[in-house]
Amino acid sequence: MFYRLSGVYHTSYASDSRIFKVPADRNLAVFFLLFGLAAPFIVPSIYLNSYMLPWLIWTAAALGLNLVTGWAGQLHLGYAAVMAVGAYSAVHAARFGVPWEFALIIGGLASSVIGSLFAFAALRVKGLYLALTTLAMQFIMDWVLHHSPTVTGGSHASLQSPTLALLGQPITSDAGFYYVAFGWCVLVTIFMLNLKRTGLGRALVAVREKDYAAAILGVNSFYYKILAFAASSFIAGVSGALLVATFFFLATPEQFSVAVSIQALAMVIVGGLGSIIGSYFGVALILLVPGVINNLVAAIAHTLGAQVNVETLAHIPNAAYGALIVIILLIEPLGLGKLYGNIREYLMVWPFDQFRK
Amino acid sequence: MDWVFLAELALNGALTGLLYSLFAIGLVLIYKASSVPNLAQAALTMLGAYVVLALSRDVGLPLWLAIMLAAVIMFGLGFGIERVALRRLAGRPIIMILMMTLGLDIFLRGTTLAIWGGTSRSIELGVSYEPLFVGDMFISRINLVGAGVAVVLFVAFMLFFRTRTGIKLRAIADDYMASWSVGISVERGVGLSWALASVVALAAGVIWGEIQGVDQALSLLLLKGLTVAVLGGLDSILGAVVAGIILGIIENVGADFLDPLVGGGSRELIVAAVLILTVMIRPHGLFGRHDIERV
Amino acid sequence: MQEKVEAQHILSMNSVEVLYDNVMLAIKGVSIQVPKGAMIALLGSNGAGKSTTLKAISGLLKAERGRVSRGEIQFEATDITEMLAQNRVEMGICHVIEGRRVFEHLTPDENLIAAAPAGMSRSALDAEKDKIYDYFPRLAERRNSHAGYLSGGEQQMLAIGRALVTQPSLLMLDEPSLGLAPFLVEEIFGIIQQINQKEGMSVLLVEQNALAALEIVSEGYLIENGRVVMHGTAEALKANSDIQEFYLGGGEGIDFHDVKHYSRRKRWLS
């Protein structure tokens, strides 16, 4: 806390390109990692499974979307459709008898294939037009899910997910589900942290900033765009599959509708484009705060003895969720990650502000 | 092949399509002035319809007065939204602007439904449901009224853009810097375009409210409206009208062929396909003029 | 006495500094006086800060994330440093921005209408349009075609005409000669001079083409690296040997074999 940059000198490129350049950051990360591991013993299981678990899986998914939108700069309004492909392929594979480890990978690969179709749109247009194309593709996926009973599981359009089992161990306990989600989120986070430091990550950023300038520098923007879409889709597919396997237990088309795509994009933007820590914040805010506000309104109404219409109560979370997006964008268009960065930078040199670069 | 039936499908499709145009004109107005794709247009449409309902049913005003008053409210609201939410994002990347309009869409929809509830209610304009026959073809009267409103609005805007204020708006659409340099208030112009778009949304909301009732489903118009706007070129009002008619015909006739094959509900599919094909083949639409961000 | 001198100037800029994005100092203390009814030129090379100076006066800096960080700008004895661009236009400052930015999708006629002040009556506007078409007969011929299809010279004329509609008392022109054929430059400069004489409009002209500019103005300022480095009457500037060598391309009668390159430094830069 006290002048945390003290004693931090990088004398080689290797040390300057470490994941955590400042020990304080690393310590913080280790602390949260330990907390995450210990959570099942500390956090009551109701919070663990209804808040922390979706938060972690959605963070992994948001990181995947951040890869394609934040890093490679390609607008994507059809992310939920890609997640749906992964979820349904994995569940079907598992129901067919494929072990879950492989089923998840099959889900991821299937998503990659479909996700790369989105990339072909990105090869032709960008910006608003790409957003509209991906949105249209999302609508088509919605339609396919609603109109193909063989995929979505008959007339009720719901597909029971078989019990998750990894390494031969069936997972049924709350803590077990939580650890699966936690492990996946950590894995994706480490991937993203490292991506930043590789040539691939830099190439993606180059494509985002100006694709033809990148092309002049010898960065094959077609190749990197497809790669970005494929990698992000893989993450989406596995996240979607895990969401069904550990949280919903039942796959329905509504879980992957247009609204969910918009929600995923909101998580990324509210969190901050290209910011990893921001994705954690963004998901927490979008996923959890509307519910909290709803409870708050209900509680206040209760204490005041006022009757709140059930319908009103049902729509307040939506209004709050929209308001959150608007407010965050007005306060800081670069999202919560940027706000965190400002605070971090301030604390980094506190109390010697004059050393700030 | 039953030609009369086909003609009837096409005619009714065209009329419905003009209703999409009504919606798309709002999108075009805002996009023209500020290059902002207003994804909250559907929420504005829904809100407009609810405001009219609230004024006519809950307050008890006569319908025409309620619509007038609602137009004033929507005008102010559109102005306010631009002032509060969009102006500060001017010059930011498109993704943030897109997200802002999506956030507004969610917020407006949530608030509207939280206040008035989601049960479907209809606005009664007093249009008869008696079938209207032209030759052997059956035509829906309310669609005819809606198409009439769309055409009237289209003509009104065409005339408006020849007035001095309208020319200034077109100047803003052309070049911000040059507009400032000759003393045109770009901010006020963009605000005005939002206000006008909100009033157009009200018109669309009232007509649709009569046809299918005032409820959440109004926001499903977004995809169709967007498709019409893109097909027409995003910044051309004439384009929005022509594209609306084309999409309406394709949708109605196409659905008639496809529905038996895929088991119904192929309209959305057709619309989405038209949107994708337009963007892929002719991103600037039929009448658009902006240079498109091609890769 | 002091007050009387002030009153003669329609515009006076006192040691104005302009910051872009809160970091880049584009002009560093520029002071300029424009007497009523005079034609003044701002000369200087690329990136010297001429356009920034004009934008500071017209208020267009804001659109480029710039601001006046020091000094003040007075127009007709009113402080306009913080005023909105459109209010400055109402007061009578009009800026013809660089690069012939006409409204391309509008016709020349509509371009002129777009610039009309809010209170202008229809008949006054028509009279104004006729007057502008008198100055620029070429425009009158093409008044109903798209402005984007006009030639470069016609677009520049339209941009100037459009500025005239706002009824300015100070007309600022940013490089009107850019990319135009010499005979067109001559024509346009001739018209500017005519407008200046007929209407008594003050003109502030930014030019790289110093030779042409000094022919029509009465005074000139030389700007280098964001500072005014020289100020004098057109005659004095034309006679100045530094100006001759750096901006006018050598004096007359010099045998080029005798010219030693780099023999002369820009003395004011040291």
Residue B88, pLDDT above cutoff 60: yes
DSSP assignments along C93-155, one per residue: EEEE-TT----TTS-HHHHHHHTS-TT--HHHHHHHHHHHHHH-HHHHHTTTS-GGGS-HHHH
Mean pLDDT of chain C: 84
Mean pLDDT of chain B: 85
Q: What is the pLDDT of residue B234?
A: 85
pLDDT grade for B295, boundaries at 50, 70 and 90: very low
Angle (CA) B141-B142-B145 rounded to 5° is 90
The answer for B 132-171 residues in CB contact with C (under 8 A) is 164, 167-168, 170-171
For residue range C203-219, list pLDDT tens digits in order. Answer: 999 988 888 888 888 98
> Which of A1-15, B65-79, C151-165 shows the lowest mean pLDDT across its residues?
A1-15
High-pLDDT (> 90) share of chain C, %: 17
Q: What is the pLDDT of residue C270?
A: 47
Report d(CA C144, CA C132) in Å as an integer. 15
Return phi, psi of residue B261, to 5°.
-75, -40
Residue C232, pLDDT above cutoff 80: yes
Residue C254, pLDDT above cutoff 70: no
DSSP assignments along C208-258, one per residue: S-HHHHHHH-SEEEEEETTEEEEEEEHHHHHH-HHHHHHTS-S-TT--TTT
State the number of CA atoms in the 13 A half-sphere of C247 facing the CB. 27
Q: What is the mean predicted confidence (pLDDT) over B132-161?
A: 84
Q: What is the pLDDT of residue A109?
A: 95
Q: What is the pLDDT of residue A79?
A: 93
Q: List Cβ<8 Å contacts ≥24 apart for B137-142.
A: B137/B4, B137/B7, B137/B8, B137/B11, B138/B8, B138/B12, B139/B8, B139/B11, B139/B12, B139/B15, B140/B12, B140/B15, B142/B207, B142/B210, B142/B211
The residues with which A170 forms a beta bridge, in sequence order, are A165
Answer yes or no: are the C-beta atoms of B97 and B82 closer than 8 Å: no
A60 interfaces chain B, CB cutoff of 8 Å: no
A210 interfaces chain B, CB cutoff of 8 Å: no
Q: What is the mean predicted confidence (pLDDT) over B252-267?
A: 81
Amino acid letter at A177? F
The answer for A 69-108 residues in CB contact with B (under 8 A) is 69, 75
Residue B109, pLDDT above cutoff 70: yes
Angle (CA) C159-B161-B163 rounded to 5° is 75
Looking at residue A67, what DSSP letter applies? I
Report d(CA B85, CA B102) in Å as an integer. 12
Look at strands C170-174 and C202-207 and give their pairing. Answer: parallel
> Which of A169-173, B7-11, B169-173, B188-192 shows the lowest mean pLDDT across its residues?
A169-173
Per residue of chain A (357 residues), what is the pLDDT tens digit?
566 676 777 788 877 777 777 777 888 888 889 988 888 888 888 888 888 899 999 999 999 999 999 888 888 999 999 999 999 999 999 888 888 889 999 999 999 999 988 888 777 887 888 888 898 889 888 888 888 777 777 656 677 777 777 777 788 888 888 999 999 999 999 999 888 888 888 888 888 888 788 888 888 888 888 899 999 999 999 999 999 988 888 888 888 888 899 999 999 999 988 888 999 999 999 988 887 888 888 888 888 877 777 777 788 888 888 999 999 999 988 888 888 888 888 887 777 766 655
Residue B118, pLDDT above cutoff 60: yes
Report d(CA B22, CA B29) in Å as an integer. 11
Minimum CA–CA partner of A210 in chain B: B295
Residue C260, pLDDT above cutoff 80: no
- How far is residue C251 CA from its own chain's centroid? 26
Contact A262 B102 (CB under 8 A): yes
Spell out which residues of chain C touch residue B167, defining contact as CB-CB under 8 Å: 106, 110, 113-114
pLDDT grade for C7, boundaries at 50, 70 and 90: low
Amino acid letter at A318? N
Report d(CA A9, CA C136) in Å as an integer. 68
Answer yes or no: are the C-beta atoms of C139 and C108 closer than 8 Å: yes
C132 interfaces chain B, CB cutoff of 8 Å: no
CATH class for the region spanning A23-355: mainly alpha
The answer for C 178-207 residues in CB contact with B (under 8 A) is none
Verify cis geometry, omega within 30 degrees of 0, for the bond prior to A351: yes
Domain residue spans of chain A? 23-355
CA distances from A346 to A6, A340, B118, B137 (A): 14, 10, 47, 73
Q: What is the pLDDT of residue C127?
A: 92
Q: What is the pLDDT of residue B30?
A: 92
Q: Which of B95, B106, B108 sits opposite A69 (nearest CB)?
A: B95
Compute the nearest-CA separation of B96 from chain A (Å). 7
Report d(CA C18, CA C55) in Å as an integer. 10
Compute the nearest-CA separation of A284 from chain B (Å). 17
CA-based radius of gyration for chain A = 21
Q: What is the pLDDT of residue C4?
A: 46
Residue B246, pLDDT above cutoff 90: yes
CATH architecture of C2-92+169-269: 3-Layer(aba) Sandwich (3.40)
Looking at residue B74, what DSSP letter applies? H
- This prediction has a pTM of 0.87
> Which of A85-89, B23-27, C41-45 shows the lowest mean pLDDT across its residues?
C41-45
**Interacting residues of C261 by C-beta distance below 8 A, sequence separation 6+:** none
Q: What is the pLDDT of residue A158?
A: 76
Domain residue spans of chain C? 2-92+169-269, 101-167
CA distances from C128 to A157, A251, B182, C122, C167 (A): 71, 71, 15, 10, 9
Spell out which residues of chain B touch residue C111, defining contact as CB-CB under 8 Å: 171
Contact A330 B272 (CB under 8 A): no
Report d(CA B156, CA A53) in Å as an integer. 55
Amino acid letter at A72? A
